[in-house]
Structure formats: C-alpha cells, structure tokens
C-alpha cells in the first residue's frame, strides 16, 4: 500500500478532529445585539459546591438576588448589570482558569469573588496584570496586607478575629490553649496570627495541630490536644465543612474545655452539620448574624435586617455572614461605578478606594489607599451557639 | 499514654474494618473475572449518598439503607453486563481503563443527581461515646466491627454451602475447568459484581456517620480498599480483611504518633513496599504467568 | 530514499504547517490559552503514548512527574536563586533519575500491579506537594516567576504559543525517531509479546526502562513550561485525576499513534472549555468517552478512522 496515502489519511483525521473542535469553539461566541444598552459585566467565581459551599452558595444567591433587583430599578448608569459566574469549588486551579476566562473571553468590567483565601491569592497576579478591579470575599489579612493596587475585600480579617477571641479568653481567665488549623490559605493565615498575637494577650499555645485539606476525621489531632497537660481552651482556625467535623469529633471524644472557632464558621450549616457538637462554641461574627439582638440606635441594624429579610424571604434559608460579604462587595462596586460615572477600570478602582461611610451588612466601610478593607471593628461581635442558634455575648 | 494508644487503636480498627470490607469486594471480583475494579470506591459512595438522600426524602433509615445497597448492586450488574462483558478480550490495560471510566462516570452522575457537598449520616446508635480506660469508643465502631464479623460468616456460608457460591469458588480456582463442568462463568462474573457492589455499599453506609459522605468519597476509600487487597494478596478474601485492618491501624498510628499530614500516604507506601518486595501479598500464593 | 522516511518527514512538514497557521484561527487571548494548554498536553501525551502504546506499560502516575517539573520551576528560582532554565533542567534531570530509580523495580510488575504501583507513586508525590505547606504553599498552590533566557522574557500569547509549538514539533520529531529506530521496533515487539521478543534476543526490559525515563522527562519539561506560563500552580497538577486525564487523551486519540496523541490532547483540552456552561456534566462526558472508546474502538480515534479510510479504498 502507498505510504503517501496513509500519510494523507492520517493528516485528514487530524485536520478533521482539530477543525471540528475549532469550528464548534468559534460558534460559541454570540454577536452583540445592536440597540440595547450594553450591560455592565460583573464577573464572579465562587465556591458554590464542594467543602466550602456554605460560603459560596449564599454569596452567589445574594449576587443574583440584588443584581435582579438593581436591574428592575433601572440598572446602573442606565445600563443593566450582567452576572457571569463560574463555580470554582474552592480549587485554586479552577479559580485561575475561570479568572483568565472572565478577563480574556468574557471581558468583564469587574470581578467579585474568591469565597476562600486560597482561591483569592491564586488569582491576584492575573488580576493585577490585567488591571481589573477585584473585590474578594475571603477572610485572611494577607489579601490586603500588603495593599495590592487592584484588590479589595469585604469580610473582617482573621487577625481581628483572633484578637476578639483572645480578648474573650483573657476575660474568662483562659491562658493555655490548644490550636488546630487546616492547610488552606485562611487556616494558615489565621493560625499564624494566633501564634503571633498570643504573647500580647498572655496566652500560651500548648498544643499546635494541623489537618489536611480533605480530612474528614480530626480525632487523632483532637486526642493529642485533649491529652496535653494543662490545656484550658481550644481554638480552631478553618472554614467550611471541616468546622462541623471538628465540633462533632470534639463532642465524640467527650471534650469539655471551652471551644472557639473563627468567623469561617458563621453559618447555620456549621451548627446543623455538627449535630449538637456546636453547642457552647464561641466565635466572632459580623453583627448581621445577630441583627435582631443589636440595639436600635445601631446604624447597621436597618441595613442588616433589610438584607436578612430579602434573602430569607426569597430563598427560605437562614442568612449567613458570607452572603453579607457578597452584598457589601456588590454595593461597594455599584456605588463606585455610579460615582465614577463610567466602567473605565482605572476610574472604578479609584472610586472603590474612595468608598466613605458606606453602611453595609458587615459594618461601616471607609477605604483608603492604605486600607483596602476599611471596615470598623465595632460591627464584629462575639457570639455563642446556644440552643442551636447564635446568642450575642455582651 | 495508654488512653492515647487505645484511642488510635479504636480509630484504626474502625477504618481498617471498612477498608477490609471494600477490599473484600475487590477480591470477590478479581476471583471471578481477574478484573481489578477501579470503580469499587464508587459503590461505597453510592451506598452512603443514596442513603443520605433517601432519608432526606423521608424514607426511614433501615429501608433507605436496603434500597441504597440494592441500588448499588444493580449498578454493579449493569457495569458487569455492559462494561466488562462487551469488552471481552480486552487487554489488562483496556479493562483497567474501562473501570476507571466507570468510576469517573459514576462520580459525575452522583454530582449531577445529588450534589458536591459533604453530608453526614446520623450514627445508628447515637454518638455518646463509651469511655474505656480514658479512650472514647463510638457505638458506631462497635456496629462496624459486628457487621464485619457477620459479613465474614455470611460469605463463608455462601461460598461453602450454596450451589452458586461453590460455583464461584470453582471459577476462581480454574475458570476453564469450571466452564467445562457446565458453570456459566458469565453469570458468575455478573454475580461477583453484584455481590461486591453490595459489600462496598454496605461499607459506605457504615462509614458515613464517621467520615461523612460526598460524591468523591469513594476515590480514597476505594484505593485504600485496594491497598488492603494487595497487602492480603490479590484474590484472598480473608487476606483482604487482615490487610484492611493492617492498613487502618498503620494509618491511625501514623496520624497519632508521627504526622497526620502523611496519613493518606501510608496506604500507598505500604502498597509500593508490598508490590516490590512481596508481590503476592503477605498471605498470597505465587502465580504463574501465562505466555 | 525509502517510504517510511518520506512519510515521517511529510508528517513533520504537515505538522509544522498546521502549527504555523494556528494563529490565524486564534481570535483572542482565551483561544491562545486553550491552544497553548492543548499543545502542552499533546507533548506529555506523546511521551506517555510511547510508554502505553508502544511499550505496552500503563502509568497512572505521570501527572506526578509533570508536577515535579512544575514545582522545580516554581521553587528553585524563588528560594534558591536558580536561573529559570537551570531550574527546568534540574527538575528534568531529577525526574529522570527518580524515574530511572523506580523504573527497575516497578517495571518488573505486570498489568494491575504496575497500574497500582505507578498510581501509588503519583499519589505519594501529590500528597507531599499538598502537605509540605512551607515549601509548596500546600493545597492553595504557589506563584511562579517568569521564564526568561538570554535577556528575553517570554510573555504575551504569541510568544508562548510559538514556544509551545516549537517544543511540540521537537517532541514529535524525537518520538518519530524513537519509533522508527531499532529501539522502536523492539518496542513494538514488546507490546506484541514480551516473551517472544525476549526469545528473539531483544533486551525488552532495557527498552521499557528507557521509554519510562524519556516519557517522565518529557512530562517534567512540559510541567515546567506550564508553571511559567500559568504563573500559578497547585498540587492538582500532580493529582490522580490529572494522570487519568492524560491516559484518557492517549486512549482517545489512539494508542501507538503520535498523530492520535495530538488529536486526543486537542480534543480533550478544547472539549471541557466548550462544555464550560455545562461543566456539571464534564465528568460524565469524560467517563463515558473512556468507557465507550475502550469498548467500541479499543484502538482509538486516529487508528480506527485511518482503518476506515483504508477499508473503503481497498
């Protein structure tokens, strides 16, 4: 048989495969409609499913709810908002892929996202290189410290969380603690802050344990903490599904020392998932979670209650602080676009940085070139889980 | 000291029993068909996830568990009938790839039909621990241990005292001779998939209250079950259970005394060690390669 | 000049032409991104196919080598001041040595045992990358510096495309040479029947080790390039799933077909991007492709299609 023929056939097969792929690829793009005002594109990647879903799920629902609402009221600058969202599932690799896609293919005007510190940190280089405003919904202080030109965030930092927790421990006379943290970005940052700040509060970390990313059984680590002589309290730095597992294992081992977690556990799903293990756990949360228990003269109360009502009546699901982070991020972005009068990325970025006295679900924001969070500390409060719900501690 | 050791031992025996049950599934299929079923972990996942979602739909727990196990068994039958049988004559590599494909397909389906989140199953007998010398033993661990013993007794009865069980034994020893004496080996292969899917699903239900369950839970559990089989010697059911307990205890002790970071690596280090230095497992028999 | 040689060079010429014309079809940065990733996957798959298709040895752990290359390029320049090229070469040499060291015992295993051993090895690599948080950044990954050489920094889509295209071309050329050499013929014999080949006096084992090492080094270099291109890597690069994806590409395109590996890599890189809106179904599609290919077209796409063309003609 002829070798040339065989060659041609092979080539044809290759061309066929590649051609099909490229053709279908090109078809995926739709031409823009003439006439309608061009929408403002808000890109987003969140951990809607997977172990961090109790962060990403309410965040996405909040964005959808309010973008719909804003569009009904006439949009922003006379243009409708369009949400382009991908589920990054708490995977840094997916976050990178999707961010690239949001910037290069979808050509969004602004990005809100990164439910977790890990996914946020993974895309910072891309975002800075593309010069696009980016508001993260993740907790760790490393996101905004040092300040990055295009990166902002809305939740309270882990450093503040640790300070609140340590102050509460000090008040109760607890000085020797066992620390457990996961290997995620938030966990590491939070545990690092716990180690750094311990001295200042006269606290000694007598046991320091870590667990892996997919771990579903923390019994060995908790056993070691339980058997550490002199341990008086326990602190867990983490977020998402592991928070429930830790609380559940804690109870299963019959541990009774005071138990603290971070604002990475501020969801009813934490309480439910722990199956009773969350009872008595103390954590710092954005005041949104206990909005009803706030004094009436607190300016945040009205905003928090309005958000809570809108969210709960639409989704029939308890509100969490994570949705609150998304609400604040969207409002800060929308206000900035309005003030800038354009979607020009540099101007929007400047406008975000100039956010002043914005009263949000998480508290009152005053950003500046040196502070890309700008959230007051008063709105961050200690709560305890009692009878399966949050009780504000005085 | 003792309390700590006991605690790690309890947790090692508990997960070890689960690995053993999963390993048993590998052994049953391998004996009937010489296939290593890389989708074994997905049977475990189906058991746990189906039970969780049936209970969410209001089905009482015992019934939900039965339906989940039956469902997994049905999936096992489909895999044997349409995956393995239609690919008769495939190479070993081919069969491995088919079962890996089935594993990915089943996980994908689980993510779409159910979801990607973590789910807990309530412990069968509450989770108030029993204190033994300062260590906490969960009632669920006792249930898992009992289930393992009952399963072993049941399988023994099945293999030695029923016609079909004896036929499976005969096929395992010599498929050709079995065929010559009139045993329908295709039926045996299907039955082995059904049986091992049911075993896997049972392990999945038993372990769900301890480790939670999710669409990808089967990947690691399946691989560790396989480690159990390799340690015990491929195709040796009792070896698989012993292997499971060895892997489980080694893992718990590593996590407890050395580092919890490398807990998951223990099973694979054991696999490599056994493969390289005693390829027939700790209790296996030598095999002759056919030309 | 004999036929095979003309066929070989003709194929290379065609490949060069296709690669050169590529940019005409790429309309934006995102298209370039997909093309670059497809090229890198194709490079790894050609190496892996030498092992699976020609030598008949399965590896479920090749993503481990890929990840080691990637992390060498991320860690060495950052922590130890290596030149990026030096880091890439160090990574490749280290991976080559590791592959050589493990190849001898591992390749004595057969079938299931070999699959399991390579899988175990790959998983141990990904666990180490996951757990050595202080060095690798743990599950959240780490950033990677730029690739620079001789005062030139590779940046911009076209530059990366060109680099990957050249590497792909070199890999194909290397692979063709290997396939058509006496070694290659020995490899074919291996896949046919190892014992028969041994009886013919072919040092089967030696060749298996050689191919294993070569394919590992190719994976390592591709990993390094990917790390620099992406600017950020995570232990997922070394995951079991990634190993399976690579095997799927080889199987889909066709075992023992270099053209097939390119087709398989391109299809399975483009497909998930097209399915992005349906990414819930991505795994279902992947699993279904693997199963149905193995059952219906065990030889893979390219050899089967080529066979069809041939059948119609004669």
Tens of pLDDT, residue by residue over C295-309, are 888 888 888 888 887
Judge residue B78's burial from the number of C-beta atoms within 10 Å of its C-beta, 0-12 exposed, 13-18 middle, 19 or more buried. Answer: middle
Q: Give the separation between CA A80 and CA A106, rounded to whole angstroms.
A: 16
* Count of CB pairs separated by less than 8 Å, A with C: 130
> Which residue, among C237, C267, C225, C235, has the nearest Cα to C250 in the 3D structure?
C267
Q: Give the separation between CA B141 and CA A219, rounded to whole angstroms.
A: 13
Distance from CA of B111 to the nearest CA of C (A): 7
Sheet holding A81-87, edge to edge: A81-87, A40-46, A110-113, A134-136, A151-153
What integer pLDDT is reported at residue C193 of this predicted model? 66
Asked if residue C12 is part of any domain, the answer here is no
Neighbour subunits, B (≥3 Cβ pairs < 8 A): A, C
Asked if residue C222 is part of any domain, the answer here is yes
> Which residue, among A241, A245, A160, A156, has the nearest Cα to A197 in the 3D structure?
A160
The domain defined by A158-292+381-392 folds into Rossmann fold (3.40.50)
What integer pLDDT is reported at residue A217 of this predicted model? 82
Q: What is the mean pLDDT of chain C?
A: 85
- The answer, yes or no, to whether residue A350 has pLDDT greater than 80, is yes
Q: Give the separation between CA A175 and CA A198, rounded to whole angstroms.
A: 9
Q: Give the separation between CA B9 and CA A12, rounded to whole angstroms.
A: 62
What integer pLDDT is reported at residue A7 of this predicted model? 44
Q: Give the separation between CA B261 and CA A214, rounded to whole angstroms.
A: 11
Cross-strand pairs, A58: none
- The answer, yes or no, to whether residue B182 has pLDDT greater than 60, is yes
Asked if residue C311 is part of any domain, the answer here is no
Choose the mutation target among A46, A182, A217 for the interface with B, i.e. most B CBs under 10 Å.
A217
Task: Note which residues in 286-305 of chain C have CB less than 8 A from chain A.
Answer: 301-302, 305
pLDDT interval class at A92 (50, 70, 90): confident
**Structure confidence by residue, pLDDT tens digits, B100-114:** 899 999 999 999 999
- Mean pLDDT for A334-352 is 94
Q: Which tokens go with C249?
A: 């590409």
Task: Say whether A210 and B261 touch across the interface (CB within 8 A).
Answer: yes
Distance from CA of C157 to the nearest CA of B (A): 33
User: Out of A306-320, B207-221, C199-213, C260-274, which region has the weakest mean confidence (pLDDT)?
Assistant: C199-213
Q: CATH code for B2-277?
A: 1.10.3470
- The answer, yes or no, to whether residue C268 has pLDDT greater than 50, is yes
Domains A40-157+301-376 and A158-292+381-392 share a fold: yes
> Which residue, among A136, A155, A143, has the nearest Cα to A44 in the 3D structure?
A136
Task: Say whether C259 and A14 touch across the interface (CB within 8 A).
Answer: yes
Q: Give the separation between CA B271 and CA C255, rounded to whole angstroms.
A: 28
Instruction: Tell me how many domains chain C contains.
Output: 1
Q: What are the chain C neighbours of B226 within 8 Å (beta carbons)?
A: 116
What integer pLDDT is reported at residue C201 of this predicted model? 67
- The answer, yes or no, to whether residue C189 has pLDDT greater than 80, is no
Task: Say whether C231 and A126 touch across the interface (CB within 8 A).
Answer: yes
What is the 8-class DSSP label of residue A375? B
- The answer, yes or no, to whether residue A3 has pLDDT greater than 60, is no
Task: For residue C124, give the nearest of B102, B219, B268 by CB distance.
Answer: B268
Q: Give one DSSP letter per residue of A17-70, joined into a string.
A: HHHHHHHHHHHTPPPPPSSSPPPEEEEEEE--SSTTHHHHHHHHHHHHHHHHHH
What integer pLDDT is reported at residue A35 of this predicted model? 61
β-strands C152-153, C232-233 pairing: unpaired
Distance of CA C56 to the CA centre of its chain: 16
What integer pLDDT is reported at residue C261 of this predicted model? 93
CB C88 within 8 A of CB B233: no
Rg (CA), chain A: 23
Residue C67's φ and ψ, nearest 5 degrees, are -65, -40
What is the 8-class DSSP label of residue A76? B
Asked if residue C299 is part of any domain, the answer here is no
Asked if residue C81 is part of any domain, the answer here is yes
Find out whether the peptide bond into A146 is cis, omega within 30 degrees of 0: yes
What integer pLDDT is reported at residue A240 of this predicted model? 87
Angle, helices C258-274 vs C282-296, to 10°: value is 150
Task: Say whether A273 and B256 touch across the interface (CB within 8 A).
Answer: no
Q: Give the separation between CA A327 and CA A310, rounded to whole angstroms.
A: 11
Between the CA of residue A309 and those of A60, A292, A293, B256, C138, what are the distances in Å? 17, 11, 15, 47, 39
Task: Say whether B117 and A50 touch across the interface (CB within 8 A).
Answer: yes
- The answer, yes or no, to whether residue A65 has pLDDT greater than 90, is yes
Q: What are the chain C neighbours of A103 within 8 Å (beta carbons)?
A: 29
CA-CA-CA-CA torsion sign (B27, B31, B35, B40): negative
Q: Give the separation between CA A260 and CA A58, rounded to whole angstroms.
A: 24
Residue B212's φ and ψ, nearest 5 degrees, are 70, 170
- The answer, yes or no, to whether residue A30 has pLDDT greater than 50, is no
**Would an 8 Å CB–CB cutoff place B271 in contact with chain C?**
yes
User: Minimal Cα distance from C295: which residue of B?
Assistant: B87
**Structure confidence by residue, pLDDT tens digits, A244-283:** 999 999 998 889 999 999 999 998 989 988 888 999 999 9
- The domain in which residue C196 lies consists of 28-239
β-strands C232-233, C142-143 pairing: antiparallel
Of all helices (H) and strands (E), which one includes residue A143?
none
**Structure confidence by residue, pLDDT tens digits, A112-138:** 988 999 899 999 988 998 999 999 999
- Mean pLDDT for B44-59 is 95
What integer pLDDT is reported at residue A23 of this predicted model? 47
Instruction: Kindly report each contact of residues A317-320 with a partner whose C-beta sits within 8 Å and lies 24 or more positions away, as own/partner.
Output: A317/A58, A318/A267, A318/A268, A319/A58, A319/A288, A319/A289, A320/A54, A320/A58, A320/A266, A320/A267, A320/A268, A320/A269, A320/A289
Task: Say whether C237 and A93 touch across the interface (CB within 8 A).
Answer: yes
- Mean pLDDT for C73-91 is 92
pLDDT interval class at C313 (50, 70, 90): low
What integer pLDDT is reported at residue B4 of this predicted model? 86
Contacts of residue B255, defined as CB under 8 A and 6 or more positions apart, other chains included, come to: A220, B8, B263
Rg (CA), chain C: 19
Task: Say whether A227 and B117 touch across the interface (CB within 8 A).
Answer: no
Backbone angle region of A235, left / alpha / beta, with phi > 0 → left and psi within -120 to 50 → alpha: beta
Contacts of residue C255, defined as CB under 8 A and 6 or more positions apart, other chains included, come to: C49, C52, C53, C299, C300, C303
Question: pLDDT higher for C13 or A40?
Answer: A40
What is the 8-class DSSP label of residue C130? H
Between the CA of residue B188 and those of B81, B165, B194, B200, B237, what are the distances in Å? 11, 9, 10, 18, 17
User: Out of A219-223, A383-387, C122-126, C150-154, which region has the weakest mean confidence (pLDDT)?
Assistant: C150-154
Q: Which tokens go with B207?
A: 């372990």
User: Minimal Cα distance from C5: which residue of A?
Assistant: A3
Task: Note which residues in 245-274 of chain C have CB less than 8 A from chain A.
Answer: 259, 262-263, 266-267, 270-271, 273-274
**Structure confidence by residue, pLDDT tens digits, C198-231:** 666 667 788 888 889 999 999 999 999 999 998 8
- The answer, yes or no, to whether residue A29 has pLDDT greater than 50, is no
> Which residue, among A116, A112, A114, A104, has the nearest Cα to A133 in the 3D structure?
A112
Neighbour subunits, C (≥3 Cβ pairs < 8 A): A, B
CB C84 within 8 A of CB C148: yes
pLDDT interval class at B288 (50, 70, 90): very low
Choose the mutation target among C249, C254, C284, C288 for the interface with B, i.e. most B CBs under 10 Å.
C284
Asked if residue C314 is part of any domain, the answer here is no
Distance of CA C191 to the CA centre of its chain: 19
> Which residue, among B203, B174, B245, B217, has the nearest Cα to B12 in the 3D structure?
B245
Asked if residue C235 is part of any domain, the answer here is yes
CB C170 within 8 A of CB C259: no
Asked if residue C286 is part of any domain, the answer here is no
Angle, vertex CA B24, rays to CA B18 and CA B30, nearest 5: 145
Q: How high is the ipTM of this complex?
A: 0.84
> Which residue, among B44, B15, B24, has the nearest Cα to B250 in the 3D structure?
B15
CB A307 within 8 A of CB A327: yes
Q: Helix or strand or coil: residue A306?
A: helix
User: Minimal Cα distance from C260: which residue of A?
Assistant: A14
Q: Give the separation between CA A314 and CA A69, rounded to whole angstroms.
A: 12
- Give the residue carrying structure tokens 């590593």: B254
User: Out of A27-31, A147-151, A371-375, B27-31, which region has the weakest mean confidence (pLDDT)?
Assistant: A27-31
Distance from CA of B236 to the nearest CA of A (A): 29
The total of other beta-carbon atoms located within 10 Å of residue C111's CB is 17
Q: Which tokens go with A257?
A: 């020392």
Q: What are the chain B neighbours of C58 within 8 Å (beta carbons)?
A: 93, 96
Q: Does domain A40-157+301-376 sit in CATH 3.40.50.2300?
A: yes
Distance from CA of A157 to the nearest CA of B (A): 26
Q: Where are the alpha helices (DSSP H) in chain C?
A: 3-25, 29-49, 62-80, 84-106, 111-131, 133-136, 157-180, 182-192, 194-199, 204-230, 240-253, 258-274, 282-296, 301-313
Task: Say whether A93 and C236 touch across the interface (CB within 8 A).
Answer: yes
Task: For residue B105, give the nearest of C56, C240, C287 by CB distance.
Answer: C287
Q: Which tokens go with A305?
A: 């209650």
Between the CA of residue B272 and those of B91, B229, C106, C117, C129, what are the distances in Å? 23, 13, 9, 6, 19
CB B209 within 8 A of CB B144: no
**Ranges of each domain in chain A:** 40-157+301-376, 158-292+381-392
Q: Give one DSSP letter per residue of chain B, joined into a string.
A: -HHHHHHHHHHHHHHHHHHHHHHHHHHHHHHHHS---TTHHHHHHHHHHHHHHHHHTT--HHHHHHHHHHHHHHHHHHIIIIIIGGGTT--HHHHHHHHHHHHHHHHHHHHHHS-SS-B----TT--PPEEETTEEE-HHHHHHHHHHHHHHHHHHHHHHHSHHHHHHHHHHH-HHHHHHTT--HHHHHHHHHHHHHHHHHHHHHHHHHHH-B-TTHHHHHHHHHHHHHHHH-TT-HHHHHHHHHHHHHHHHHIIIII-GGGHHHHHHHHHHHHHHH-TT-SS--------
**Ranges of each domain in chain B:** 2-277
Task: Say whether B101 and C131 touch across the interface (CB within 8 A).
Answer: no
Residue B283's φ and ψ, nearest 5 degrees, are -120, 15
What integer pLDDT is reported at residue A1 of this predicted model? 37
Q: Give the separation between CA A258 and CA A277, rounded to whole angstroms.
A: 12
pLDDT interval class at B283 (50, 70, 90): low
What integer pLDDT is reported at residue A394 of this predicted model? 74
User: Out of A15-29, A76-90, A127-141, B221-235, which region has the weakest mean confidence (pLDDT)?
Assistant: A15-29
Task: Say whether B136 and A254 touch across the interface (CB within 8 A).
Answer: yes
User: Minimal Cα distance from C196: which residue of B?
Assistant: B291
What is the 8-class DSSP label of residue A157? P
Contacts of residue C5, defined as CB under 8 A and 6 or more positions apart, other chains included, come to: none
């Amino acid at each position: 048989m002829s070798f040339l023929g065989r060659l041609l056939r092979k080539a044809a097969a290759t061309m066929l495969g590649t051609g099909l792929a490229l053709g279908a690829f090109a078809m995926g793009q739709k031409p823009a409609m003439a006439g309608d005002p061009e929408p403002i594109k808000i890109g987003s990647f969140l951990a809607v499913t997977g172990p961090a879903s109790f962060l990403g799920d309410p965040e996405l629902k909040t964005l959808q709810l309010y973008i719909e609402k804003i569009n009904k009221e006439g949009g922003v600058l006379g243009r409708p908002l369009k949400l382009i969202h991908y589920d990054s599932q708490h995977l840094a690799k997916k976050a990178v892929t999707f961010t690239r896609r949001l910037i290069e293919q979808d050509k969004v005007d602004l990005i809100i996202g990164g439910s977790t510190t890990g996914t946020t940190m993974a895309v910072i280089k891309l975002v800075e290189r593309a010069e696009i405003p980016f508001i993260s919904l993740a907790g760790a202080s490393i996101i905004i410290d040092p300040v990055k030109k295009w990166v902002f965030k809305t939740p309270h930092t882990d450093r503040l969380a640790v300070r609140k927790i340590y102050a509460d421990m000090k008040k109760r006379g607890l000085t020797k603690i066992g620390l457990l943290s996961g290997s995620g970005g938030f966990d590491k940052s939070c545990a690092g802050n716990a180690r750094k700040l311990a001295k200042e509060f006269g606290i000694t970390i007598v046991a320091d344990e870590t667990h892996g990313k997919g771990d579903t059984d923390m019994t060995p680590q908790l056993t070691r903490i339980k058997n550490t002589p002199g341990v008086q309290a326990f602190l867990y730095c983490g977020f998402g599904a592991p928070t429930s597992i830790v609380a559940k294992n804690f109870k299963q081992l019959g541990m009774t020392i005071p138990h603290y977690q971070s604002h990475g556990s501020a969801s009813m799903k934490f309480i439910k998932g722990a199956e009773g293990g969350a009872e008595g756990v103390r954590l710092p949360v954005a005041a949104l979670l206990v909005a009803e228990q706030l004094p009436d003269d607190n300016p945040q109360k009205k905003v928090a209650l309005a958000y809570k009502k809108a969210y709960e009546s639409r989704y029939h699901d308890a509100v969490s602080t994570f949705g609150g982070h998304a609400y604040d991020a969207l409002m800060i972005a929308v206000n900035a676009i309005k003030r800038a009068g354009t979607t020009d990325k540099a101007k929007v970025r400047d406008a975000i940085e100039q956010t002043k006295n914005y009263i949000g679900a998480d508290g009152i924001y005053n950003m500046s070139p040196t502070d890309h969070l700008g959230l007051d500390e008063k709105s961050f409060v200690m709560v305890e889980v009692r009878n399966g719900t949050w009780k504000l501690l005085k | 000291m003792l309390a700590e050791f006991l605690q790690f031992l309890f947790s090692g025996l508990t997960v070890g029993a689960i690995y053993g049950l999963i390993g048993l599934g590998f052994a049953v299929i391998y004996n009937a068909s010489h296939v290593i079923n890389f989708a074994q972990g997905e049977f475990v996942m189906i058991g746990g996830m189906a039970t969780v979602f049936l209970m969410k739909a209001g089905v009482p727990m015992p019934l939900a568990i039965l339906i989940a196990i039956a469902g997994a068994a049905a999936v096992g039958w489909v895999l044997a009938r349409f995956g393995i049988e239609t690919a008769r004559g495939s190479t070993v590599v081919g069969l491995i790839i088919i079962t890996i494909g089935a594993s990915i397909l089943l996980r994908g389906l689980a993510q779409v039909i159910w979801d990607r989140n973590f789910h807990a199953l309530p412990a069968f007998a509450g989770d108030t621990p029993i204190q033994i010398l300062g260590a906490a033993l969960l009632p669920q661990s006792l249930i898992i241990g009992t289930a393992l013993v009952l399963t072993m007794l049941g399988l023994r009865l099945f293999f030695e005292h029923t016609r079909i069980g004896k036929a499976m034994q005969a096929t395992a020893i010599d498929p050709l001779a079995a065929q010559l004496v009139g045993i329908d080996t295709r039926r045996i292969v299907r039955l082995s998939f059904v049986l091992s899917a049911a075993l896997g699903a049972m392990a999945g239900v038993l372990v769900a209250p301890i480790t939670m369950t999710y669409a990808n839970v089967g990947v690691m559990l399946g691989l560790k079950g396989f480690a159990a089989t390799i340690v015990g010697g491929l195709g040796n059911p009792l070896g698989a259970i012993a292997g499971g307990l060895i892997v489980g205890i080694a893992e718990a002790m590593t996590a407890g005394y050395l580092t919890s970071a490398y807990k998951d690596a223990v099973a694979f280090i054991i696999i490599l060690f056994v493969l390289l230095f005693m390829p027939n497992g700790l209790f296996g028999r030598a095999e002759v390669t056919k030309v | 000049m004999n036929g095979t040689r003309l066929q070989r060079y003709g194929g290379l010429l065609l490949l060069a032409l296709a690669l050169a014309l590529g940019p005409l079809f790429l309309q934006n940065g995102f298209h370039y991104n997909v093309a670059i990733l497809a090229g890198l996957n194709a490079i790894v798959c050609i190496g892996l196919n030498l092992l699976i298709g020609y030598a008949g040895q399965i590896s479920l752990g090749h993503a481990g080598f890929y990840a080691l290359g990637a992390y060498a390029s991320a860690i060495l320049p950052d922590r130890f001041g290596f030149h990026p090229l030096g880091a890439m070469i160090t990574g490749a040499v280290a991976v080559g040595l590791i592959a050589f060291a493990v190849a001898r015992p591992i390749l004595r295993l057969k079938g299931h045992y070999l699959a399991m051993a390579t899988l175990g090895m790959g998983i141990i690599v990904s666990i180490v990358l996951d757990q050595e948080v202080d060095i690798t950044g743990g599950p959240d990954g780490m950033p990677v510096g730029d690739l620079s050489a001789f005062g030139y920094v590779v940046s911009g889509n076209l530059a990366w495309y060109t680099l990957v295209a050249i590497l792909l071309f070199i890999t194909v050329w290397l692979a063709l040479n290997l396939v058509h050499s006496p070694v290659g013929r020995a490899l074919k014999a291996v896949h046919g029947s190892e014992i028969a080949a041994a009886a013919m006096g072919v040092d089967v084992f030696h060749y298996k080790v050689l191919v294993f090492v070569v394919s590992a080094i190719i994976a390592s270099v591709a990993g390094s390039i990917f790390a620099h291109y992406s600017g950020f890597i995570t232990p997922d690069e070394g995951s079991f799933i990634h190993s399976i994806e690579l095997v799927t590409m080889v199987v889909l395109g066709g075992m023992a077909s270099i053209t097939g590996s390119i087709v398989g890599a391109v299809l399975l890189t483009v497909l998930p991007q097209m399915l992005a809106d349906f990414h819930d179904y991505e795994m279902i599609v992947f699993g279904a492709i693997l199963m149905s290919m193995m059952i219906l077209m065990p030889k893979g796409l390219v050899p089967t299609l080529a066979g069809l063309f041939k059948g119609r003609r004669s």
